[in-house]
Amino acid sequence: MKRIDLIKALDSSGCVLIRHGAKHDWYQNPATGVTQAVPRHREIKEHLARRILRMLASPIVNDSLESDRTSDPTERDDDEN
């Protein structure tokens, strides 16, 4: 994932930049008080980006992320037939 896309996702979920570290920027979700480091690489591995988003997302967004991940894309609804 591009770092700029991750930052846009964090901003849209209400997270704020609290400080610049040596090699990372620190973001905080004001609603939950959780802080998380975001590396300053152009590309951030998908697994790490998802973890950062999950840590900083509000509980409502967390629930939707979990339901998306646990749903089986091979299942079909009977209504479609």
Edge-first strand listing for the sheet containing 24-28: 16-20, 24-28, 35-39
Query: Could you list the pLDDT tens digit for every one of the 81 residues in the chain?
Result: 999 999 999 999 999 999 998 999 999 999 999 999 999 999 999 999 999 999 998 665 555 555 555 555 555 555 555
Read off the CATH number of the domain in which 7 is found.
3.30.920
Determine if the pTM surpasses 0.75: no
- Determine, yes or no, domain membership for 76: no
For 65-77, b/e burial (b = at least 16 CB within 10 A) is: eeeeeeeeeeeee
Strands 24-28 and 35-39: antiparallel
Find where tokens 């997302």 sit. Answer: 57
**Residue 70 is assigned to a structural domain of this protein:** no
Distance (Å, rounded) from C-alpha 64 to C-alpha 43?
25
Range of the structural domain that residue 23 is part of:
3-59
